[in-house]
Structure 1
Amino acid sequence: MKNIVIGSGPAGRLASIELGKLGKDVTLIEKNHIAGTCLNEGCMVICALTDITKFIDENKRFNNYGFIKSQLEVSYDKIVEKIVETQEFLRKLNQMENESFGNEIIYGEASIEDEIIKVNNESFEYDNLLIATGARPFIPDIPGAEFGLTNKDILKLDDVPEKLNIIGGGIIAGEIANIYSTLGSEVNVLARSQFLKELNPETKRYVLEKIIPEVNIYEGVNVVEAFKDKVLTDDNEEFEGIPFFATGRTPNSEIADGIVELNPDRTIKVNEMMKTNVENIYAAGDVTGGYQLTPVARMEGITAARNMAGYSNKVSYNCIPQTLSFNMEVSFVKNEKSTCSDEDKAKISLPGIGGPGAFWNILTGETGYTEVEFDKAKNKLNNINHISPSSVSDIAYLSYLMRMDYDLDDYGEFLEIHPSTDTNYKIIKNMWL
Structure 2
Amino acid sequence: MKNIVIGSGPAGRLASMQLGKLGEEVTLIEKNHIAGTCLNEGCMVICALTDITKFIDTNKRFNNHGFLKSQIEISYEKIVEKITKTQETLRKIEQMENESVGNKVIFGEASIDGNEIKVNNESFEYDNLLIATGARPFIPDIKGSEYGLTNKDILKLDDVPEKLNIIGGGIIACEIANIYSTLGSEVNVLARSEFLKEINQTTKEYVLKNVIPEVNVCENTNVKEVFENKVITENDDELEGIAFFATGRTPNSEIAEGFVELNDDKSIKVNEMMQTSADNVYAAGDVTGGYKLTPVARMEGITAARNMANYANKVSYHCIPQTLSLNMEVGFVENEKSECSEDDKATIKIPGIAGPGAFWNILTGDTGYTEVEFDKKNNKINKINSVSPSAPSDIAYLSYLMREDYDLDDYEDFLEVHPTTDANFRVIKYMWL
Q: Which SS does the other structure have where 2:411 is aligned?
A: helix
CA–CA distance in 2 between the matches of 1:240 and 1:188? 10
Contact 1:356 1:422 in 2 (8 A): no
The number of residues matched between the two structures is 433
The 8 Å contact of residues 411 and 429 in structure 1, kept in 2 or not, is answered as no
Aligned position for 1:355: 355
Per-residue deviation at 1:26? Answer: 0.2
In the alignment, the residues of structure 1 paired with residue 206 and residue 414 of structure 2 have an alpha-carbon distance, to the nearest angstrom, of: 28
CA displacement at 1:354 relative to structure 2: 3.8
- CA offsets 1:139-175 (integer angstroms, 9 cap, x no match): 1111110000000000000000000000000000000
CA offsets, 1:64-121, max 9 Å, x none? 1111111100000000000000000000000000000000000000000132100000
Cross-structure match for 1:255: 255
Equivalent residue letter for 2:418: H
Question: 1:281 aligns to what?
Answer: 281
- Map 1:25-424 onto structure 2 (within 5 A): 25-424=25-424
> 1:335/1:354 Cα in 2 relative to 1: closer, same or farther (>3 Å)?
closer
The one-letter amino acid of 2:335's match is: N
SS where residue 80 of structure 2 aligns? helix
| Matched-pair identity in % | 79
- SS at structure 2 position matched to 1:50: helix
Q: Secondary structure at the match of 2:3?
A: strand
TM-fit CA distance, 1:239:
1.1
- Which shifted more, 173-182 or 418-427? 418-427
Give the unaligned 5+ runs of structure 1.
Answer: none
The alignment's TM-score, normalised by the length of structure 2, stands at 0.99
* Separation in 1, partners of 2:94, 2:258: 32
Q: Secondary structure at the match of 2:410?
A: helix
Q: In structure 2, how many angstroms separate the alpha carbons of the residues matched to 1:354 and 1:297?
A: 31
Report the residue type matching 2:196 in the other structure: L
Task: Please tell me the residue identity of whatever aligns with 1:338.
Answer: S
- Partners of 1:422 and 1:326 in 2: CA distance: 23
User: Is the contact made by 1:416 and 1:425 (CA closer than 8 Å) also made in structure 2?
Assistant: no
Tell me the C-alpha RMSD between the 2 structures: 1.0
Relative to structure 1, the CA distance from residue 261 to residue 337 in structure 2 (aligned partners, 3 Å threshold; closer, same or farther) is same
CA distance in 2, matches of 1:243, 1:423: 42
Letter in structure 1 aligned against 2:287 = V
CA contact (8 A) 1:412 1:429 kept: no
Following TM superposition, the consecutive aligned residue runs of length 4 or more in structure 1 with deviations greater than 6 angstroms are none
Which residue type is aligned with residue 413 of structure 2? E
1:245-304 residue CA offsets vs partner (Å, 9 max, x unmatched): 000000000000000000000000000000001121000000000000000000000000
CA deviations 1:369-411 (Å, max 9, x no partner) are 1000011122211100011111111111110110000012112
Per-residue deviation at 1:426? 4.4
Q: Which moved more, 1:294-303 or 1:389-398?
A: 389-398
Distance (whole Å) between structure 2 residues aligned to residue 416 and residue 328 of structure 1: 23
State the shift of 1:124 in Å. Answer: 0.5
Give the whole-Å Cα distance in 1 for the aligned partners of 2:428 and 2:39: 34
Deviations 1:151-207 (A, max 9, x none): 000000000000000000000000000000000000000000011011111111110
How far 1:240 moved relative to its partner? 1.0
CA displacement 1:40-61 (0-9 Å, x = unmatched): 0000000000000000000001
Tell me the distance in 2 between the aligned counterparts of 1:304 and 1:88: 28
Higher mean alpha-carbon deviation, 12-21 vs 347-356, is at 347-356
Q: Secondary structure at the match of 1:4?
A: strand
1:21 aligns with 2:27: no
Distance 1:328 1:409 in 2: 30
Once residues 355 and 298 of structure 2 are traced to their aligned partners in structure 1, the CA distance between those partners, rounded to angstroms, is: 31
Is 62-71 or 31-40 further displaced after alignment?
Answer: 62-71
Would you say the 8 A contact 2:11–2:284 is kept in 1? Answer: yes
Could you tell me how far apart the structure 2 residues matched to 1:224 and 1:285 are? 33
Deviation at 1:353, TM superposition (A): 4.5
Instruction: Mark the CA change 1:10 to 1:256 in structure 2 (over 3 Å): closer, same or farther.
Output: same
Looking at structure 1, the residues matched to 425 and 317 of structure 2 have their Cα atoms a distance apart, in angstroms, of: 27
Return the offset for 1:425: 4.1
Paired AA for residue 394 in structure 1: D
Do the aligned partners of 2:30 and 2:109 also contact (CA within 8 Å) in 1?
yes
1:318, 1:408 → 2: CA distance? 18
Are the counterparts in 1 of residues 348 and 432 from structure 2 also a CA contact under 8 Å? no
Instruction: Give the deviation of 1:414 after TM superposition.
Output: 2.6
**AA of the residue aligned to 1:224:** K
